[in-house]
Structure 1
Amino acid sequence: MPFDRRHAARRFIQPCCQGQQQSRPVSLFPVHPLAQIIAFLSGGFILSVSLPDPAIAQIVAQAPADSQTSTARQYYNIPAGPLASALRSLASSAGLLLTFTEGQISGKTTGGLRGQYTVQEALAHLLGNSGLQVTRLANGSYVVQKMSTIEPSPANVTLPLMTVSAPTLKQGTAEEGYQVSNISGIGLWGERSLRDTPYSMSVVPADLIENVNAQNMGQIFKMNPLTQEPFIQNFTGVPFVTIRGFQTSSPVYDGIHLYANGSAVSVIEIDRVEILSGTSGFLYGGNRVGGAVNYVTKNSTNIPLRRLTFGNYGGTQFYGHADIGGKFDDRGRFGYRANLLYQGGDTAIGEPINQKVANIVLDGHLTDTLYADVKYTYNDYSKEATQPLFYMRERISIDTSKRYSPKWASNDLESHKAYTSLHWDPSKYFTLRSAFFYQDTRMRVNQISLDEQANKTFIPRMTNSPWEKHENYGGYIYLDSRFSTFAVDHKLTLGYSSTFHEMLLRGNGTVYLSGNTNFLLSELKNIAEPDWGASFGSGSMATAYTARNDNILIGDDISFNDQWSAMVGLNYATTAYKLDGIYGDSNYEKSKLTPTASLLYKPIEKVTTYVSYMEALEASIIVGNTYANRGEVLSPLLSKQYEVGLKYDINPNLLLSTALFRIEKTNRYSDLATPIPRYVQDGLQVHNGVELVLTGKVTDNLTIMGGGTLMDIGVEKSNDPALEGKKPTNAASRMGKIYAEYALPWIPGLNLTGGIYYTGERYANVANTDKIPSYALYDIGARYTTRVLDKALIVRLNVINLTGRNYWQDQYNLGVPRTIAFSVSTMF
Structure 2
Amino acid sequence: MSFPFAIRPLTTQLLRAGFLIALGLPGLSLADDGERRSYRVPAGSLSTALTRFAGQAGVSLSVDPSLVNGLSSPGLQGEYGVEEGFGALLRGSGLMLVPAGTGSYILQPVPRQDGAVQELPSTAIIGQHDGAAGDAYAGGQVSRRGSLGMLGERDYMETPFNITSYTSEVVQDQQARTLADVVANDPSVRTTNPSAGRFEQFSVRGFSLYNSDVAFGGLYGVLPTYSIDMEMVERVDILKGPSALLGGLAPNGSVGGGINIEPKRADDEPTTEFTAMHASSGQLGGHVDIGRRFGEGQRLGLRFNGVRQSGDTEWDHQSVEREASVLGFDVRGERARMSFDIGHQERDVDGPMERVGLAANVEVPDAEDIHNNFAQPWTFSRAKDTFGAVRGEYDLNESWMVYAAAGARNGDYDFLRHAVQVVNAAGRFTVTPRTFQREEDVLTTTVGARSWFSTGSVGHTLNLSLNRFDMTFDNSGARFANGVSNLFDPVTLPVPGRPLALDNPTHTETVLSSLALADTLGFADDRVLLTLGARLQRVEVDSSEPGEPDQRYDERATSPAMGLVWRTCEALSLYFNYMEGLTQGQVAPETANNAGEVFAPFRSKQVEVGAKYDFGRFSTTLSLFRIDKPSYFTDSAGNLRDDGEQRNQGLELNLFGEPLDGIRLLGGAMLLDAELAKTANGSNDGNRAIGAPIVNANLGVEWDLPQVRGLTLTARTIHTGSQYLDAANRQKIDAWQRYDLGARYAFELGGTDVTLRASVENVLDKTYWASANVPDGTASGLTLSTPRTWLLSATLGF
Q: If the length of structure 2 is used for normalisation, what is the TM-score?
A: 0.85
Partner of 1:418: 388
Q: What is the match of residue 457 of structure 1? A: 427
Alignment of 1:608 with 2:608, yes or no, is no
Shift of the 712–98 alpha-carbon distance from structure 1 to 2, 3 Å rule, reads: closer
> Closer, same or farther in 2 for the Cα pair 1:245/1:148, shift >3 Å?
closer
1-structure distance, mates of 2:126, 2:236: 26
Tell me if structure 2 keeps the 8 A contact 1:65–1:140. Answer: no
Choose from 620, 627, 631 the match for 1:663. Answer: 627
Bigger mean CA offset, 223-232 vs 211-220: 223-232
Please state how far the C-alpha of 1:111 moved relative to its aligned partner: 4.0
Which whole-Å CA distance do the structure 1 matches of 2:195 and 2:412 have between them? Answer: 15
Kindly indicate whether residue 492 of structure 2 is the aligned counterpart of residue 492 of structure 1. Answer: no
Counting matched residue pairs gives: 732
Distance in 1, Cα, partners of 2:134 & 2:498: 52
1:349 aligns with 2:315: yes
Q: Could you give the per-residue CA deviations for residues 19-55 of structure 1, whole angstroms, max 9, x where no partner exists? A: xxxxxxxxxxxxxxxxxxxxxxxxxxxxxxxxxxxxx
User: For residue 610 of structure 1, what is the amino acid of its counterpart?
Assistant: Y
- Give the one of 449, 465, 490 matched to 1:523: 490
- Of 249, 252, 257, the residue aligned with 2:215 is 252
Q: Is the 8 A contact 1:389 1:448 kept in 2?
A: no
Partner Cα separation in structure 2 for residue 257 and residue 141 of structure 1: 33
**Which of 594, 614, 625 pairs up with 2:559?**
594
Report Cα offsets for 1:254-307 as digits up to 9, x if no partner: 111228984652211111111011122232325111111111111222211000
1:378 matches 2:344: yes
SS of 1:522's equivalent in the other structure is coil
CA contact (8 A) 2:222 2:387 kept: no
Shift of the alpha carbon at 1:215?
A: 1.5
Distance verdict in 2 for CA 1:447–1:143, change over 3 Å? closer
The corresponding residue for 2:509 is 546
Q: Which residue of 1 aligns with 2:535?
A: 571
3-state SS of 2:377 partner: coil
Displacement after TM superposition at 1:116 (Å):
3.0
The answer to whether the aligner puts 1:228 opposite 2:190 as a matched pair is: yes
Shift of the alpha carbon at 1:172? 6.2
Deviation at 1:63, TM superposition (A): 3.1
Alignment of 1:273-292 (within 5 A): 273-284=236-247, 285-286=249-250, 287-292=253-258
Residue of structure 2 equivalent to 1:438: 408
1:549, CA displacement in angstroms? 1.3
Superposed CA deviations along residues 773-800 of structure 1, whole A, max 9, x for unmatched, are 1101100011110111111100001100
Q: Distance in 1 between matches of 2:489 and 2:750?
A: 51
User: Which residues in structure 2 correspond to 1:304-383 (within 5 Å)?
Assistant: 304-350=270-316, 351-365=318-332, 367-383=333-349
Q: Tell me, yes or no, if structure 1 residue 702 matches structure 2 residue 667.
A: no
Distance 1:262 1:179, change over 3 A: closer
8 A contact 1:462–1:513 mirrored in 2: yes
* TM-score w.r.t. length of structure 1: 0.82
Question: 2:343 & 2:126 partners in 1: Cα distance?
Answer: 30
Verify: 1:580 aligned to 2:549, yes or no: no
Amino acid at match of 1:116: G
Residues 492, 450 of structure 1: alpha-carbon distance in 2 compared, 3 angstrom cutoff: same
- Return closer, same or farther for 1:308/1:621 CA change in 2, 3 Å cut-off: same
Return the alpha-carbon distance in structure 2 between the equivalents of residues 609 and 445 of structure 1. Answer: 49
Q: Give the aligned partner of residue 218 of structure 1.
A: 180
Residues 128 and 783 (structure 1), Cα distance of their counterparts in 2 relative to 1, 3 Å cut: farther
Distance in 2 (alpha carbons) for counterparts of 1:130 and 1:230? 53
Cα distance, 1:442 vs. partner? 0.5
Larger relative contact order (CA 8 Å, sep ≥ 6): 1
- What is the CA distance between 1:62 and its match in structure 2? 9.1
Q: 1:516 to 1:383 in 2, by over 3 A?
A: closer
- Indicate the SS of the match to 2:784: coil
Give me the whole-angstrom Cα distance separating, in 2, the residues matched to 1:470 and 1:731. 31
User: What code does the residue aligned with 1:664 have?
Assistant: D
Judged with a 3 Å threshold, the aligned counterparts in structure 2 of structure 1 residues 378 and 530 are, in CA distance, closer, same or farther, namely: same
After superposition, the Cα gap between the structure-2 partners of 1:706 and 1:343, relative to the gap in structure 1 and judged at 3 Å, is same
Give the counterpart of 2:367 among 377, 398, 416. Answer: 398
CA distance in 1 between partners of 2:344 and 2:723 (Å) = 38
Code of the residue aligned with 1:357 in structure 2: it is A
**One-letter code aligned to 2:747:** T
Alignment counterpart, residue 63 of structure 1, candidates 27, 32, 52:
32
Aligned to 2:769, the other structure's residue is in SS state: coil
Q: Which residue of 2 aligns with 1:208?
A: 170
**CA separation in 2, counterparts of 1:123 and 1:481?**
24
Residues in 2 aligned to 1:802 and 1:820: alpha-carbon distance in whole angstroms: 9
Q: Aligned-residue CA RMSD in angstroms?
A: 3.1
Q: What does residue 447 of structure 2 align with?
A: 477
Counterparts in 2 of 1:126-165, with a 5 A limit? 132-133=96-97, 147=110
Q: Which residue of 1 aligns with 2:116?
A: none
**Residue deviations 1:73-106 (CA, integer Å, cap 9, x gap):** 423777859xxxx96x356323155688xxx969
Partner amino acid, structure 1, of 2:305: N
Contact 1:235/1:381 (8 A) holds in 2: no
Structure 2, unmatched stretches of 5+, are 1-29, 114-124, 773-780
How many angstroms does 1:398 deviate by?
2.6
**Cα offset for 1:519?**
3.6
Does 1:186 find its partner at 2:148? yes
Q: Cα offset for 1:545?
A: 0.7
1:92 aligns with 2:51: no
1:313 CA drift (Å): 2.8
CA distance in 1, matches of 2:549, 2:43: 55
* CA deviation after TM superposition for structure 1 residue 643, in Å: 0.8
| Residue number among 768, 790, 801 corresponding to 2:751 in the alignment | 790
CA contact (8 A) 1:124 1:134 kept: no
Q: Which residue of 2 aligns with 1:16?
A: none
Give the match for residue 122 of structure 2.
Answer: none
Structure 1 residue 126 displacement after superposition: 5.5
Q: Which one-letter code corresponds to 1:617 in the other structure?
A: L
Of residues 230, 241, 245, the one that matches 1:267 is 230
Point out the more displaced range, 801-810 or 465-474: 465-474
Structure 1 residues 664 and 536: alpha-carbon distance in aligned structure 2, compared to 1, 3 A threshold: closer
Looking at structure 1, the residues matched to 300 and 445 of structure 2 have their Cα atoms a distance apart, in angstroms, of 24
Residues 197 and 352 in structure 2, CA contact (< 8 A), matched pair in contact too = no
Give the residue type in structure 1 aligned to 2:75: Q
Q: Tell me which moved more, 254-263 or 813-822.
A: 254-263
Q: Distance in 1 between matches of 2:65 and 2:44?
A: 22
Distance 1:106 1:617 in 2: 38
Classify 1:127/1:484 alpha carbon distance in 2 versus 1 (closer, same or farther; 3 Å). Answer: closer
**Residues 645, 660 of structure 1: 8 Å contact kept:** yes
Please, which runs of 5 or more residues in structure 1 have no aligned partner?
Answer: 1-60, 151-161
Contact 1:575 1:620 in 2 (8 A): no
- Percent identity of equivalent pairs: 21
Whole-Å Cα distance in 2 between the matches of residues 297 and 141 of structure 1?
22
Q: CA deviation at 1:628?
A: 2.1
* Mean CA deviation greater in 215-224 or 735-744: 215-224
CA distance in 1, matches of 2:134, 2:52: 15
In structure 2, C-alpha distance between the alignment counterparts of 1:344 and 1:784, rounded to whole Å: 25
Residue 99 to residue 291, structure 1, CA distance change in 2 (3 Å): closer
